[in-house]
Amino acid sequence: MINTGVIGAAGYSGIELIKLLLSHPGAEIKKLYGDSSAGLRIEEIHPSLRNMISMEIEKLSDASLDDLELVFVALPSGASFDAVSRAHERGIKVIDIGGDFRLKNKEEYRKYYKHDHAASSLLSKSVYGLSEWNKTEIASASIVANPGCYPTSVLLPLIPLLKNDIIKEDFVSIVSFSGTSGAGKSVVQNMLFSEVNENVRAYKVGDHQHIPEIRLYLEKFSGKAADFSFVPHLLPVTRGIYTTIHARVREKISEEAVAAAFASSYGNSKFIRLLAPAIPEMKDVLYTNFCDIGFKLTENNMLVVISTIDNLVKGAAGQAIQNMNIMSGWPQETGLLSFNDKENQKKK
């Protein structure tokens, strides 16, 4: 049994982590941490946890990390430096759900995240936690940088297409739609119900912080440097991401070849569901760790690929659990496919 802690327990990703960890057969929650929520009990903040867990949220300190083997850091970008550094210095494995350790270049980090990196010495030690594509590095990592929700929905469908020479690198259009929980719990005027309801809007066009992350790991895992545009949109829903990708295929590429590229990459992946010719729907992945992928090859040799995930699960807490499983030598699906895993474990 691994003793775990959740830093940022009161946030949206934090609550998802707690729920998943409570049903995990190999992990036990020992500590919950927060700042403004310190001193409160987690079930007071999230009444849905009543009769599931009763634990006080405490301030992070070196002494409070004693006896922990792995911590999840579920803090906004720019707020993870101290927590990750403290845990790493004490030999505790870290899975950071924020964006602070995904990029390798501190100058690029400053450009897109709009502030300096305060723990740049750890960038070379962090491993990108795209579970389906980086298992070997994740397994031996001390710091795992969980992928962003948008990049997860983009990289999973695009990597097999580039890696298998299905599409041309000179034109890739990516359009994504996200629920409002992706912005976290901070109170911002343009995220108020009256601003979001019955509305769809694009934002951070051309300068979204996930652009360099997509670029870096597309090239790392596919071996191809693709020219792409990425335009995120906000939907008037709480959770979920829906991504549509347009790309030109190479000559004589058939739908069978596209299907074969996906099958060869994900045939044994528990959390990738290949739906073509069906079109994925966001409602089918909510509250799950699945990524659903579909595609259609049109008459003008344009490939349209659609993927959808739950931004709080596969795009955050679920993939973090998947990475914990890899780091611990467990099957990736442990604690993620069945709420009865603990009972099943007892029977073995």
Average pLDDT over residues 174-193: 78
**Both 158 and 123 in a single domain?**
no
**Both 132 and 248 in a single domain?**
no
Q: Cβ neighbours of residue 340 under 8 Å, at least 6 residues apart?
A: none
Q: What is the CATH number of the domain that holds 41?
A: 3.40.50.720
Q: Which of 102-116, 177-191, 239-253, 302-316 has the lowest mean pLDDT?
A: 177-191
**Both 39 and 91 in a single domain?**
yes
Q: What is the CATH number of the domain that holds 300?
A: 3.30.360.10
**Both 99 and 71 in a single domain?**
yes
**Both 182 and 195 in a single domain?**
yes
d(CA 125, CA 94): 11
Residues identified as active-site: 149
**Both 323 and 299 in a single domain?**
no
**Both 97 and 246 in a single domain?**
no
The chain-wide mean pLDDT, for the chain, equals: 93
Please report the pLDDT score of residue 197 as a whole number: 84
Average pLDDT over residues 48-63: 94
**Both 301 and 317 in a single domain?**
no
pLDDT (tens digit per residue) in 129-152: 999 999 999 999 999 999 999 999
Please report the pLDDT score of residue 185 as a whole number: 59
Q: Which of 66-75, 164-173, 179-188, 203-212 has the lowest mean pLDDT?
A: 179-188
Phi, psi of 149 (to 5 degrees): -65, -45
Please report the pLDDT score of residue 312 as a whole number: 97
Average pLDDT over residues 54-62: 95
Confidence at 193, pLDDT banded by 50, 70, 90: confident
Average pLDDT over residues 216-226: 97
What Rg value do the Cα atoms of the chain yield, rounded? 20
**Both 173 and 273 in a single domain?**
yes
**Both 205 and 279 in a single domain?**
yes
Residues of the domain holding 328:
2-147+313-347
Q: Cβ neighbours of residue 5 under 8 Å, at least 6 residues apart?
A: 29, 30, 31, 32, 33, 65, 68, 70, 71, 72
Residue for token pair 């679920």: 318
**Both 54 and 163 in a single domain?**
no
Q: Is a pLDDT exceeding 90 seen at residue 97?
A: yes
Please report the pLDDT score of residue 181 as a whole number: 84
Please report the pLDDT score of residue 196 as a whole number: 82
pLDDT (tens digit per residue) in 269-320: 999 999 999 999 999 999 999 999 999 999 889 999 999 999 999 999 999 9
**Both 117 and 172 in a single domain?**
no
CA atoms within 13 A on the CB side of 24: 28
d(CA 163, CA 132): 14
* Helices 210-222/149-163 angle, 10° precision: 30
Q: Name the domain count of the chain.
A: 2
